[in-house]
Structure 1
Amino acid sequence: MPATRMMIARRAGVSVATVDRVLRDDQAVRPETAQRVHVALAGLRDERASRGRPAKPSTFRVAFVLPQVNSRFLDHVERDIALSASFFREHRITPSFYRCDFASQRDTAVFTEEALDYDALVLAPLDYPWVERLIASLSEADVPVVTVFSDLPGSSRAAYVGVDNRIAGRTAGLLMGRFLGSRIGTVAVVSGSSRLHDQLERRTGFSQVLEEDFRNLRWIAEPDFAEDSDGAGLAIQGLLARHVDLAGVYATGGGIPGIASALIESGDKARVVVIGHGLSPETRAQLGERAIDVILDQDVRGIVHWAGLAAVNFLNDVRGALAIPTPETRIYLRENAHA
């Protein structure tokens, strides 16, 4: 196998983008830099001719990138990335962390140039065309992108690591239907962001089950739902006023603590089933107090670890790099909230 741009960049101590410019004979590259690239390329060719393959680099530079949105879940992910430093060192990963405003096309383009200096990216993407272009640019430069938690399946990302969000939504729909039984009423599906593919998948799975198996329940979508407690509380008050038959609320993203608190304060919790995502000390307590009926959760730190390993496997050309385990969705009720 010929030397890749990534191998040349590591050997020369430059970015993949710089290697690309040198190989295209870009005259804007400084002569001494171009010479380093050509020397590195010649050395790699000699080594491959004599031994078949050069030594692997000592470490890989992997950027972990989250969107710059207000989300308790993403704050949890950021914390788990920081707490995984020793795991990454053990697996020869040098991590860097970024928050990027992917809603801004300009900020995404600026970040793309910076990201080209890394060996790989682990990314929680938002669904914008310029985010797909970011992934495509990195893929063309031999920088693999592994998406986590939320996917962009139509992009050129190398792999996705996370739960099957449509199955998670279907699980929530089945539980909602079982909890409500034969009651007739409205179920609100509230989502924090229409640009997060995971929330769209959960909403799709949830609605599929209600339409297939629980025709007694009418579901309505409430997109761009506020995730902060005050905003979620006000939104729930509006839902109660508009839908006197409100029987259930499913939150595909954040905001579940505010929803539960508002329903308790209004005295409506006894007639409304509440299902959401994300186990935390606050939602554990609300499960115990019966303010929340079901919490669906995932192994956040495990997914962060698997994503880093998947990126390294792609960089090492490991066969079976795509054989990544699909994490399970965990179900928490009042009885096992503190298990």
Structure 2
Amino acid sequence: MPATRKTIARRAGVSVATVDRVLRDPQAVRPQTAARVQLALASLRDERASRGRPAKLTSFRIAFVLPQIHSRFLDQVERDIALSASFFREHRVTSSFYRRDFTSQRGTSTFAEQMTDYDALVLVPLDYPWVDRFIEDLNDSGVPVVTVFSDLPGSRRAAYIGVDSRIAGRTAGLLMGRFLGERIGTVAVLSGSSRLHDQVERRTGFSQVLEEDFRNLRLVAEPDFAEDDDGAGLAIQGLVASQPDLAGVYVTGGGILGIAAALQESGDNTRFVLIGHGCTAETRKQLAEHAIDVILDQDTRGIVHWAGLAAVNFLNDVRGALPIPTQETRIYLRENAHA
């Protein structure tokens, strides 16, 4: 039986609220009650071990979980997870994959109970309070969660694997300012989802650099911008019309292909500096055609690999044995678009 709060409470003969207090602060309840809860938790863990899940396993079951949102980048991550199956088998990991709607609090709670059958999770989290609780419940059940690509730094996740998104945003801001030089005008920051922490961090880092070093540029933020190409193309046309001094556009998430295509069709692409994320065959082509000026990228497959290995590291309780390299942001321009 998975060691959820309900099963611990049933085994200890106490309420779920009491279990919650013991797990958060054992001093908050009577010592006898805390001991009963701890004994119930230990017995449930022993049962899991007797079903083939001892503390020191030769193989692990790890679930990779992505949010069910429209994102070309997450679609690429999904492909990279699938293509990494043989890599994980070599490291005695059996990987499973899920796309999940985290907008429902009840659905997320139910999903947490299903995930306790795994040894660890690798998660791209959305910034909801119940996702924090989802991570906490799994952690309490002995299932470490490694966040990947986007972080929830205030949660009880075991580790984060990915680039520093604020630094990536600051890099984009520096490049935007250098490209525009002394030009006076407006720069728009377009973000696909405010529930993805990495996009919030990119937007923050970008605005910090413009405020610190490029006072000639006025910032306009457009959160929850359309990430599909058609919607992004229509939205940029409206933005151009409302901001006659528009000089640059920074796209923190998806939609840059639609934006570049719309600007090319209107003949306005030479007026703007366009910077975004995700080096693909399509964005490389638009870099070469000067429809996009800069693409920032990351080693998606490598990050997937390191996230799985980090999860194994926590399961083996050898946190210092597998040093995780600092993930770097790659910069692509027209000159190295096909490098």
**When the two structures are superposed, what TM-score results if normalisation uses the length of structure 1?**
0.86
Contact 2:3 2:45 in 1 (8 A): no
Residue 136 of structure 2 aligns with an amino acid whose one-letter code is A
Letter in 1 for 2:154: G
Instruction: Tell me how far 1:172 sits from its aligned partner.
Output: 0.2
Q: Decide which of 1, 12, 15 is 1:24's aligned counterpart.
A: 12
Q: How does 1:62-141 map to 2 (within 5 A)?
A: 62-141=62-141
Aligned residue type for 2:134: L
State the partner residue of 2:277: 277
Aligned residues: 308
Aligned position for 1:238: 238
In structure 2, list runs of 5 or more residues that go unmatched. 15-41
In the TM superposition, residue 154 of structure 1 has moved relative to its aligned partner by 0.5
8 A Cα contact 1:310 1:321, kept in partner = no
Give 2:30's aligned residue. Answer: none
8 Å Cα contact 2:2-2:44 kept in structure 1: no
Conserved? CA contact 1:159–1:322, under 8 Å: no
Corresponding position: 1:223 with 2:211 = no
Cα offset, 1:110, TM superposition = 1.6
| 3-state SS of 1:122 partner | strand
Residue aligning to 2:189: 189
Partner of 1:298: 298
Equivalent-residue separation in structure 2 for 1:289 and 1:41 (angstroms): 61
Residues 1:24 and 1:322: Cα distance change in structure 2 (over 3 Å)? farther
Kindly indicate whether the alpha-carbon contact (under 8 Å) linking 1:127 and 1:152 is maintained by their aligned counterparts in 2: yes
Give the distance between the partners of 2:297 and 2:78, measured in 1 at CA.
Answer: 17
- Contact 2:187 / 2:248 at 8 angstroms: preserved in 1? yes
The RMSD of aligned alpha carbons is 2.2
Q: Deviations over 1:230-267 (max 9, x none)?
A: 00001100100100000000000111111100111111
- Give the whole-Å Cα distance in 1 for the aligned partners of 2:221 and 2:323: 35
Are 1:253 and 2:237 an aligned pair? Answer: no
CA change 1:55–1:63 in 2 (3 A) is closer
Instruction: Using the aligned pairs only, state the percent identity.
Output: 75
Other structure's SS at 2:131 match? helix
Partner SS, residue 174 of structure 1: helix
Match of 1:32 in 2: none
Deviation at 1:325, TM superposition (A): 1.8
Over 3 Å counting, the alpha-carbon distance change for 1:38 and 1:249 in structure 2 is closer
Equivalent in the alignment of 1:313: 313
Alpha-carbon distance, 1:82 to partner: 0.2
Once the two structures are TM-superposed, the CA of residue 326 in structure 1 deviates from its matched residue by 2.0
CA contact (8 A) 2:233 2:262 kept: yes
| Separation in structure 2 between the aligned mates of residue 323 and residue 210 of structure 1, nearest angstrom | 34
Aligned partner of 1:213 in structure 2 is 213
Change (3 A) 1:272 1:314: same
Contact 1:16 1:116 in 2 (8 A): yes
2:224 & 2:187 partners in 1: Cα distance?
17
SS of the equivalent of 1:131 reads helix
Which has the higher mean CA deviation after the structures are superposed, 168-177 or 54-63? 54-63
Gaps (5+ residues) in structure 1? 1-13, 27-36, 46-53
